[in-house]
Structure 1
């Protein structure tokens, strides 16, 4: 990343830079004129193919096009003494990649044996070949990262269990993810493991030993048993399971504080407890049903259920305004625009968007289609443009985190998609994703039968049926409005 430019100073530097025209200190004089420090750095990092066919660093300019040193006459040392490649040099005449390689070899070599563990060789190779070597070096030279990698190099074994026993930290999770992504460790369902760890700690919050045993059984035979039958734990399942157990613990601790055992629970107790707390206490309904079924609680008890349909919806004018901004505001990041379109036009949940892979997307010269449910949905112009841009420049191969990822929306963690919560946070500057999604579903249910919309968008018919009320403009008006705005004509 280039350094932020300071304000120019014409008084101190009266002669402007020949390239940018701003008044900064001149650090080099090349055939095309004096060059300031900012343009000098940019020249060292400009890569491509010169008109003469030379591929590498192109620091010169000929006819407003980047040119190599030979053609432009620019004198600049970008020849690495380590690997011989043309590149920006970091220290000792060596490029960032060579320096990064030496640092990695040093950190991942076990000092007691003088060699690197076989399991760590793929990790070392991945880190050495990352395109953003300067970013890798910045990360790896942080004290906590350096310490972690040194300890890893000396570990007797490298397994999932080895990492599980270490203190929880972002560095542990990131390095663990790298080892999985590069085949050192087998893949496993991390959310299932995280839930088991969380549940163990949650049990410590229970005051009464008898209640602790009840919650332990509830976790094991209700939540974890269900998770064991799932191919992959979704974020929604993970969060709901945590919330249900948390609320159940809150209920049992409240009973303990009032000298009430669960088998003695009465409806009046439940009503008081629910009335005293937040609406999330309604989720205790699932625990209560399980407790009654397993005879841990008396029958006939009930929690006031959650009233559906009370969440705010983004009205049609707000949807149109947000969509126009997403289509025409080129300052927004491409992936944010691509995700926003799926929410505003197709009412998709952030979790489903985050899990999209390029196998779900088909891009041809004529058409872009995305599979949301069981049917491929076409994105007409101008809705297809962010997706074409994203496909042309996915930027997943710049670090060691996503060397061969198929995720459309890659995440910060190696090999994982973007966190849905992070995606909604990014889009919150434009609109509330939940309100926008509900508003869109509200509008779409007026355009086609419930079963067709459910199948097309990947929702259950029951969910779509709840939105099938009132009348509204057709989906085609989204496209008409977008095109009319681009052409400067009113939408009829």
Structure 2
């Protein structure tokens, strides 16, 4: 700092809270700043108000003064100019930087200037009346056409960008026009962004990042830009109006991209890129899909285009000759991308709703039947699968569950196995006998007994000559040994602690498991109507009678009731039925997803925690009460009370048989 920089010395004293230095600063420099502001605002009364705001801001932001960057007077003058330009617009009354001062002294912001009638005209190229981008001898060009004129395909990188010599064989974008050198660290040929002490180049990736505390959010982040010496990170810079400009296409005052477009116009271009080169008949749902994507927030569209698999599925589906349908989607996609895209299309009415688990099971049965070589046995397999399983799933009120479909596929898979095994032994379904079936059952897992229904059905329909008997599975003994109460409370304290950042859904689900031992599958199936409130007390219907929740779970119940957003392809959606909505419209959250949430909070094995929670309840409650409150069958509740009683009796017998002193 220069020795004669009195203003800088005063600012440094003000940083330490010296009020006397602030008074001296006002007395010595108020006239200079007043003259600077008056030249901008042209109104003395307004200039006095701006002057007061300048000194108030100088007191607050004096820590942003750096004597190594310049003098204190220059810092104050820059602050006053910016503050003067941030005076309220005389047209819209919004505080913003003054873009133009009219003849009568009216101050206008950039948005109001762009709306002036003299700034509009008929474009000589597109014929639309829009904001003037440039005036030429051949006529007026709007901003959009002017920007398109500058854009072209770079002859070096092949990208469509604003180019030098656009439209000619010499077109080259700004990035390629800059000379490139090998980076000293990564050795890649890139444009130098920085240099080492010995003159070696560093690319933008290898250059050291400037990390400072952001003046807006206060977090230590990479500096995007500075305003009056104050650093701003990338996220805050995009929100700060000082970094905003008017969009060249729609005129919105937003943070612009390299092409001068706001996020809304950029997102619209990305959506339109999906539909390039194809027709858009309403019957095929393409227009509905375009409207659904255009209605999504820009950031959601940008996130969507980062999911390459989903975008590739959408492109293939739009270009499919059969139009947008369930069948065409199944042809172009599979796995999680198919599930996510289908859920989005169903939610926005592009596709009609259908039971996806049922549709997949039907397609799986048809594909699996091809493994059966004999036509009569293949026909029997298809008839049994449709009669016993598909027809039953179609009659039930709720959609087919994942557990139902998994069990059916296991049973039908064993049927395919037994058919193939009989063929390898020179027999068939028609010639099956008890000896062959017993031999096959002894060679595999216990789930093979599920072929009982198929063999019985074949005998009743005269497809098998002999009736075979398959013994029922033996129920395994229930073990109540598990975690201790200390282990449960260690995890439960996390869910009951209000200071923990846990969603209401996860908090409620964890407490229902750890306190009442309710299966996660049953928790996921809870409907919004099952959570009830009466006289300020909440209860939940698990069984036939409502279960009153403790007061410590009231906040979790309220949050779970009101915050039921479900993840979707572009925007979260609200379900009106399920308490724990899932990613597929009309379906609840899967128990696997719910277990994954609890696993992050310490519930590694839900089965062990469930047993540990049910054990004290089975001791203190009779089996009928346990059944009515927790939704257990009466036989399961009886089994639990019996197992707990047996466990206690065994423990007592063991203690009595122990000699004294041991």
Q: Report the TM range for the smaller structure's normalisation.
A: 0.7 to 0.9
Match of 2:325 in 1: 159
Residues 213-245 of structure 1: CA deviation (Å, up to 9, x unaligned): 332222021111212221232222222111111
Q: What's the CA shift for 1:77?
A: 1.5
| Equivalent-residue separation in structure 1 for 2:590 and 2:538 (angstroms) | 25
Match of 2:235 in 1: 42
Match of 2:350 in 1: 184
Identify the match of residue 301 of structure 1 among 461, 466, 469: 469
Identify the match of residue 29 of structure 1 among 221, 226, 249: 226
Match of 2:201 in 1: none
Match of 1:378 in 2: 548
Q: Which moved more, 1:183-192 or 1:377-386?
A: 377-386
Identify the match of residue 581 of structure 2 among 398, 404, 410: 410
Q: CA distance change for structure 1 residues 13 and 367 in 2, over 3 Å: closer, same or farther?
A: same
Q: What's the CA shift for 1:195?
A: 0.8
Residues 55-110 of structure 1: CA deviation (Å, up to 9, x unaligned): xx5x4xxxxxxxxx5xxxxx33166555555655445343433322222234236x
**Structure 2 residue 194 is matched with structure 1 residue 194:** no
Q: Name the TM-score, length of structure 1 as normaliser.
A: 0.73
Instruction: Indicate if the aligned counterparts of 1:314 and 1:438 stay in contact, CA closer than 8 A.
Output: yes
Q: CA distance change for structure 1 residues 82 and 130 in 2, over 3 Å: closer, same or farther?
A: same
Instruction: Indicate if the aligned counterparts of 2:483 and 2:612 stay in contact, CA closer than 8 A.
Output: yes
Q: What's the CA shift for 1:196?
A: 0.2
Q: CA distance change for structure 1 residues 357 and 99 in 2, over 3 Å: closer, same or farther?
A: farther
SS of the equivalent of 2:552 reads: coil
Q: What's the CA shift for 1:259?
A: 2.3
Instruction: Indicate if the aligned counterparts of 1:313 and 1:436 stay in contact, CA closer than 8 A.
Output: no
Residues 334-364 of structure 1: CA deviation (Å, up to 9, x unaligned): 5433322222233333333223343433468
| Equivalent-residue separation in structure 1 for 2:235 and 2:260 (angstroms) | 18
| Equivalent-residue separation in structure 2 for 1:136 and 1:399 (angstroms) | 9
**Structure 2 residue 636 is matched with structure 1 residue 463:** yes
Q: What's the CA shift for 1:257?
A: 1.9
* Unaligned 5+ runs, structure 1: 1-10, 46-56, 60-68, 70-74, 473-492
Q: What's the CA shift for 1:144?
A: 4.5
Match of 1:261 in 2: 428
Q: Name the TM-score, length of structure 2 as normaliser.
A: 0.56
Structure (1 or 2) with the larger CA radius of gyration:
2
| Equivalent-residue separation in structure 2 for 1:150 and 1:323 (angstroms) | 47
Q: CA distance change for structure 1 residues 431 and 313 in 2, over 3 Å: closer, same or farther?
A: farther
SS of the equivalent of 1:28 reads: strand
Aligned 1:325-404 pairs, distance under 5 A: 325-328=494-497, 330=500, 334-362=504-532, 366-391=536-561, 393-396=563-566, 400=570, 402-404=572-574
Match of 1:101 in 2: 268
Instruction: Indicate if the aligned counterparts of 2:310 and 2:341 stay in contact, CA closer than 8 A.
Output: no
| Equivalent-residue separation in structure 2 for 1:248 and 1:434 (angstroms) | 30
Aligned 1:1-20 pairs, distance under 5 A: none
Q: CA distance change for structure 1 residues 88 and 244 in 2, over 3 Å: closer, same or farther?
A: farther
| Equivalent-residue separation in structure 2 for 1:370 and 1:100 (angstroms) | 44
Q: What's the CA shift for 1:22?
A: 7.5
Instruction: Indicate if the aligned counterparts of 1:397 and 1:404 stay in contact, CA closer than 8 A.
Output: no
SS of the equivalent of 2:285 reads: helix
Residues 358-406 of structure 1: CA deviation (Å, up to 9, x unaligned): 3433468934333323444333233344343444544448854653423
Count residues with an aligned counterpart. Answer: 430
Q: What's the CA shift for 1:168?
A: 3.1
Instruction: Indicate if the aligned counterparts of 1:402 and 1:414 stay in contact, CA closer than 8 A.
Output: no
Instruction: Indicate if the aligned counterparts of 2:249 and 2:261 stay in contact, CA closer than 8 A.
Output: yes
SS of the equivalent of 2:226 reads: strand
Q: CA distance change for structure 1 residues 442 and 126 in 2, over 3 Å: closer, same or farther?
A: farther
**Structure 2 residue 592 is matched with structure 1 residue 424:** no
* Unaligned 5+ runs, structure 2: 1-207, 646-662
